[in-house]
Amino acid sequence: MPLLRDPSSLRKWRQQLQGSLAFVPTMGHLHAGHLALFRLAQARAEQVLVSIYVNPLQFGPGEDFDSYPRSLDEDLHKLGEAGCTAVFVPTDQDLYPNGPLAQTQVEPPARLSDILCGVQRPGHFRGVATIVLKLLHLVAPDMLVLGEKDYQQYRIVQQMLVDLNLSTQLLCGPTQREPDGLAMSSRNTRLSPEQRAIAPALAAELRQLCRLPANNAAESSAEASAERLRQAGFALDYLELRDSETLQPLSHTQPGARWFAAARLGPVRLIDNMVIP
Ligand code: AMP
């Protein structure tokens, strides 16, 4: 499995590649959620490229860029075992030669990016959109595979593909969960045993909210769930019902609407979302 460490090796590899290519961008510290996306990619394309890059542009000041878990050797082992075609591991110098802030950036529409995670993380989705576009230009895949776990990111990238006339096909893989319901995340390994025991409550509340009958008032139910989460030890950033396409708030439950939550346990910020069946 070739390890491509810079854009010129990637370009050479890409030029000689035969068959359709699916691309799975990640920040590494791979878990079964990433590997499920990889298998989806493998089922849909002849070749799969995974990138591993912790993108400084999507982290704000005081966020966990430095402490973000990194485990390249283990990641490469997992991808090799899974049958990955190649892995792209660029450096900051290659992607941001003048520093991440001193370059052209992609500004997603505010109606999608200044809400939910964009409130606590201003500029985060600009960083995401910028790195995804850069990687798409470098990799030139037929398909891009993203996870439903980061649904707001998925919607923003989907909109960017339309708005910037990109023809890459976008695939979305369902959220993979631990047996107790906690959405898998690289950040979960930073939870203390006590925090790890509390963490599944976030998904449990979302599951309960998704079971409410249609046309139920969203705000009062969300507030009751939020209070239970605070009692359990979470610092809640948001718990909201929104339209799955526009991401605009909804006052009442309805099939296809989506509950979104972000909450912190100590220094670890967890996000999750679930759609009402
Ligand atoms: P990350 O490494 O966290 O940037 O994630 C890389 C990709 O994996 C993104 O498209 C995420 O949405 C996706 N992903 C992360 N966690 C999960 C999960 N538990 N289930 C499915 N996809 C996931």
Question: Cβ neighbours of residue 176 under 8 Å, at least 6 residues apart?
Answer: 31, 32, 33, 36, 149, 183, 184
**pLDDT tens by residue, 6-38:** 999 999 999 999 999 999 999 999 999 999 999
Q: Which of 26, 31, 52 to mutate to test the pocket of ligand 1 (most atoms within 8 A of CB)?
A: 26
Per-residue model confidence as pLDDT tens digits over 181-202: 999 999 999 999 999 999 999 9
| pLDDT tens per residue, range 119-146 | 999 999 999 999 999 999 999 999 999 9
Ligand 1 centroid from CA 131, angstroms = 15
CA 150 to ligand 1 center in whole angstroms: 7
55 ligand 1 Cβ < 6 A: no
Task: Pick the atom of ligand 1 nearest to 30's CA.
Answer: 2
From the CB of 47, is ligand 1 less than 6 Å away? no
pLDDT at 169: 98
Q: What is the mean pLDDT of residues 87-94?
A: 97
> Hey, what domains does the chain have and what are their CATH numbers?
3-173 (3.40.50.620), 186-275 (3.30.1300.10)
- The pLDDT value recorded for residue 133 is 98
pLDDT digits (tens, 9 = 90+) for 222-237: 999 999 999 999 999 9
Coil, helix or strand at residue 198: helix
Q: Looking at residue 67, what is its pLDDT?
A: 95
**Three-class SS of residue 252?**
strand
Q: How far is the CA of 51 from the centre of ligand 1 (A)?
A: 12
| Ligand 1 touching residue 34 (CB < 6 A) | yes
> Which residue's alpha carbon is at the smallest distance from atom 10 of ligand 1?
146
DSSP state of 9: H
Determine contact, residues 103/134, Cβ cutoff 8 Å. Answer: no
pLDDT on residue 260: 99
Looking at residue 33, its pLDDT comes to 98
Write down the pLDDT at residue 176. 98
Q: What are 34-50's pLDDT values in tens digits? A: 999 999 999 999 999 99
| Alpha helices per DSSP H over the chain | 7-16, 32-44, 72-82, 92-95, 110-113, 117-120, 124-139, 151-163, 193-198, 200-210, 218-232
58 lines ligand 1 (CB under 6 A): no
Q: Which atom of ligand 1 is nearest to the CA of 25?
A: 6
In this predicted structure, what is the pLDDT of residue 267? 95
pLDDT at 38: 98
Q: Nearest residue CA, atom 18 of ligand 1?
A: 33
What is the rounded average pLDDT for all residues in the chain? Answer: 98
pLDDT band for 258, please (50, 70, 90 cuts). very high
Identify the pLDDT of residue 272.
Answer: 99
> For residues 269 and 207, what is the distance between their CA atoms, to the nearest angstrom?
19
The pLDDT score that the predictor gives to residue 79 is 98
Rounded to 5°, the CA angle 245-146-2 comes to: 160
What is the average per-residue pLDDT within 51-66? 96
Beta partners for 50? 24, 87
As to burial, measured by CB atoms within 10 angstroms (0-12 exposed, 13-18 middle, 19+ buried), residue 254 is middle
Looking at the chain, the whole-number percentage of residues with pLDDT higher than 70 is 100
Mean predicted confidence (pLDDT) in 89-107: 96
